[in-house]
Amino acid sequence: MGDGGERGGTLALCELTDEYGTALLADFRRFYGLDLAEALFGSQPVAPSLLLGLVEELPEDSALAAAVRGGPHHRGWTVSAHLLASVIDAVNDAAWITAQANSRKRIRRPRRFPRPAADQRRPATVADLARRFGAPEQGAVIRR
């Protein structure tokens, strides 16, 4: 990447750390064993484009993914957890329908399994966030 790419990576990383700094600090420590502050400002700083590549590869249960989805109450709510909550709702509905069909009186419908977000938009992924802040494309060659 040329000089312009480095500046773009720096700007994107600055925007990310401004908005989600504590989540990134925690994730870099947890998933990569890196001190993000040391990687940015230490004696041997890592290229911002390389750090953005690491951000892009953070898993869906990262603190950053939770922050992007709406905050810490989203931690642990991976796609699998949402699917499991939907299965619980479906089983409860099937039991309710069966009970209702075999009863003379009205039976209350079961409550939905609680989920962290009332917002029905598709949750942003770490890859969406990386694209938003200008991370390099998957498979792109990153030069230091």
Q: Which one-letter amino acid corresponds to residue 10?
A: T
Q: Are residues 71 and 133 in the same domain?
A: yes
Q: Are residues 85 and 142 in the same domain?
A: no
Q: Are residues 26 and 85 in the same domain?
A: no
Report pLDDT for 126.
Answer: 76
Binned average pLDDT, 10 residues per bin, the chain of 144 residues: 53 90 96 94 92 94 91 87 95 96 93 77 72 64 51
Residue 133: DSSP 8-state: T
Q: Are residues 91 and 34 in the same domain?
A: no
Q: Are residues 83 and 55 in the same domain?
A: no
Looking at the structure of the chain, the number of domains it has is: 2
Triad 134, 60, 36: Cα angle to 5°: 60
Contact 134, 12 (CB under 8 A): yes
pTM, entire model:
0.64
Range of the structural domain that residue 68 is part of: 1-75+124-144
